[in-house]
Structures are given as structure tokens and as C-alpha cells.
Structure 1
Amino acid sequence: MLVLNLLLAIIWLVLQTSFTWADFVVGMLVGFGIIGMTEATLTWQRPFSDQQAKRGYVGRVMKVISFSGFVIWAIIKSNLDVAWLVLNPRAAYQPGIVAVPLDIQSDLGITLLANVITLTPGTVSLDISSDRRTLYIHAMNVQDPDALRAEIKGEFERRVMEIFP
């Protein structure tokens, strides 16, 4: 579907007889709208799971956009938390390593989760167990390891699993 969306954007550019980034973005949006309205009639096989296929192209794109917004917000929030710890000399912080059990099955999902955790300031993904069931994370401030695990599983892993189960 992404290839079809790109093709529709290129057709849009040719019809507009101008080749600017703004026209390309408008073409992508027009293509996205066309695909959204006609997706039920497009019947070729999709290389996704049944759950993802039911959601369709438009639903998957919306999930990716929502996930991107969540990651940006998490990065901003973590930046503020780390800045507070660094600038406040009396702040008591307790670094630690936490093992987080994983429900994600795919290599792409595990990689995305580990990278998003590393992108947020104050946390680094260290290692994954050999059976790919546990992710080890170093956090700058681990007051409550169970709360950190719950946050990673409830926020980060859940959202990654919506995209890559």
C-alpha cells in the first residue's frame, strides 16, 4: 500500500506540473485519502498478520503517527526529568539495572522497543536474554523497579506491539 501511495503522489506531481516538497506531501495526503476510501476493494495479499490486515493501511499509518507522537512526548518528558536530576544537587537518584519480561515476538518489535528506550534520556537498553524473553535496561533513577517495568510494559511495549506484534 505504501508503494501505491507513493505512486499516487508521483501521479499527483505530474498532474500539477510542479515538483516541490509541498506538492509531494499534498500528493501523499491525497493518495492516503484515496486508499482509505477504496481499501476494501483492493484485495491483494498483505505481508502482515491477520490482526494488522484487518486494521488496514489507514489504521496502521494512524498507529505509526500516534506512536511517533508518543515517542516525542516521552523524549521531552525524560529530558525534563534528567535536567531536574542534573540541575538539582540535592536530588536523590538511584541508578539501577532492571530486567523487563517481554511479550513481543518479532525481532523488529524487540529492536524498535530497545531503540525507543535508549532514545529516551536517562535509560539505555543493555542486553536481551538469549531466549529473547527479557530485556535488560539501565535507568538513571530507579526508585521503584516494579513501577519502571510497569511503565515500559504498559506504555512502550504495548504501543510497539500495536505496530509490530
Structure 2
Amino acid sequence: MIGRILPYPLLTISLAVFWMTINSFSPGHLLLGTGVAMIASWAMASLRPPKPRIRNWHLLIKLIAIVIYDIVRSNIAVASIILFPRNRKTRAAFMTVPLDLRDPMGLAVLAVVLTATPGSAWLEYNSSQGTLLIHVLDEVSEAHWQNLIKSRYEKLLMEIFE
């Protein structure tokens, strides 16, 4: 019965809490936020997303640590590019990275990681060719970025999800 009313209870609770954090607390906002969260949960259930299959849970901790480190390091690098533009020549670029990763959840996590890391953005994934188009703020070399993504993230994501 509860599964029909709240097919994704954690999603519903999270969205309701998020709603309350971005709005002032009032009974009306609580009711509206809960209603929006329930509708979102029902919409998610109608999509019937496959459950993610995580094969190596212990590697998630390693991935999270790597991503946090990379985000901090990238924030410092981007700040130095912005604050001290004369000290280095930067060149933004679009580049293609061939991927072996095919798991949809692994690709989604890679998209979040690349977009959350300052200085890089996931633009497009071509599933027929298995290539990823990204934009980088500071192109060291295309080979450098390909190696970084493939060895640092893709390999670990394949161990976690495939």
C-alpha cells in the first residue's frame, strides 16, 4: 500500500526537505512541497527506471575521495586562471574522448563528475560511436584529458558498475 502512495519514499522526503530549505517555513509551503515531492515520485515511478547494479560498493568510497580531491584542485586551478590571467596562457577547447563504459548509471555518474569539476563540462555522448564530447577551460593536451578521464574515472566506474 505504501509502495503505491510513495513509490520512492527517500526521493519524496528529500524533495520535501529541499523545498523547505529554499522556501520559508509555513504550513502552506510544507503542504505544497510535499505535494510536489509526491508528484515527482509518481512521475519517477511511471518512468520505471532500472535499479542501479553496483558490483563493488567499497570502490564508491575511493571514487568519492578522488572526486572531492579533484574538485578542490580544479577550483584552485580555475581561480588561478581567473585571478592571474597573465601568468599563464590558457586555451579553452572542445575534445572527443572515446569511452569503453556503457552502463547508463556509470555514464550518468561520469557526467556528474565531469560537470561538477570546475574547468570541464560534459556536452554530448554519442552511444553509437562510444564517444564523449567535453569542453575544457584549460586544454593541456587532448591526450592528457583522455588519459585523465579514462584512467582516473572510467576505469573505476567500470569496476563499480560493470
Give runs of aligned pairs for residues 1-150 of structure 1, distance below 5 A.
52=55, 60-90=56-86, 91-131=88-128, 133-150=130-147
Cα offset for 1:89?
2.1
Counterpart of 2:73 in structure 1: which amino acid? K
Cα separation, 2, equivalents of 1:75 and 1:87: 18
Cα separation, 2, equivalents of 1:94 and 1:70: 25
- Choose from 150, 155, 158 the match for 1:158: 155
Structure 1 runs of 4+ with >4 Å offset? none
Cα offset for 1:61?
2.8
Structure 1: give runs of 5+ residues left out of the alignment: 1-46, 53-59
Counterpart of 1:87 in structure 2: which amino acid? L
* Counterpart position of 2:32: none
Query: Would you say how many aligned residue pairs link Structure 1 and Structure 2?
Result: 110
Counterpart of 1:135 in structure 2: which amino acid? L
Cα offset for 1:132?
5.6
Cα separation, 1, equivalents of 2:129 and 2:123: 13
Cα separation, 1, equivalents of 2:59 and 2:112: 18
Cα offset for 1:130?
4.1
Cα offset for 1:80?
0.8
Structure 2: give runs of 5+ residues left out of the alignment: 1-51
Higher relative contact order (CA 8 A, sep 6+): 2
Change in CA separation of 1:132 and 1:145 when aligned onto 2, cut-off 3 Å: same
Change in CA separation of 1:112 and 1:71 when aligned onto 2, cut-off 3 Å: same
Change in CA separation of 1:127 and 1:65 when aligned onto 2, cut-off 3 Å: same
Cα separation, 2, equivalents of 1:145 and 1:139: 10
Change in CA separation of 1:61 and 1:130 when aligned onto 2, cut-off 3 Å: closer
Cα separation, 1, equivalents of 2:153 and 2:81: 23
Cα offset for 1:120?
0.3
Counterpart of 1:84 in structure 2: which amino acid? S
Identity across the alignment (%): 34
Give the TM-score normalised by the residue count of structure 1: 0.62
Counterpart of 1:74 in structure 2: which amino acid? D
